[in-house]
Amino acid sequence: MRKTVATTDAPAAIGPYSQAVWANELLFVSGQIPIDPKTGEMVGEKAAEQAEQVLENIGAILGSQGLSFANVVKATVFAKDMNDFKTVNEVYARYFTADPPARAFVEVARLPKDVLVEIEVIAVKG
């Protein structure tokens, strides 16, 4: 089974991709950046502020499918600056409170719209 996901509670895709895609029992959530879905505007000038909005967007996508952060089994954090590791982790820890998923945290040269943080996740149903 393959099914694409779209919710107005999270920002629309800014390119030729889906917000998320179901593949059997796995939900692959595309990388989210700190865009407010209500205004379409970028949120935050600091990595922690941006991480908060990114995780809110991910939560909206998960919630639209009857899932929560507890269903996430893998996350990848892309950051413009590895020096933001600590502050992004502090925000991240508020969303993954118990049994956090496997994760990679990667510094990258540039992200869409020149944001500081992008996060993608994989969640499992059940």
Number of domains within the chain:
1
For residues 88-108, give the mean pLDDT. 97
For residues 20-46, give the mean pLDDT. 97
- Yes or no: say if 38 and 87 are a contact pair by the CB < 8 Å rule: no
**Is the whole-model pTM more than 0.95?**
yes
Confidence at residue 88, expressed as pLDDT on a 0 to 100 scale: 98
DSSP element (H, E) containing 114: none
Domain of 90 in residue numbering reads as 2-124
HEC string of 36-92 equals: CCCCCCECCCCHHHHHHHHHHHHHHHHHHCCCCHHHEEEEEEEECCHHHHHHHHHHH
Confidence at residue 126, expressed as pLDDT on a 0 to 100 scale: 83
Three-state secondary-structure class, residue 35: strand
CA distance 57 to 5: 13
Average pLDDT over the chain, rounded to an integer: 97
CATH label of the domain that carries residue 73: 3.30.1330.40
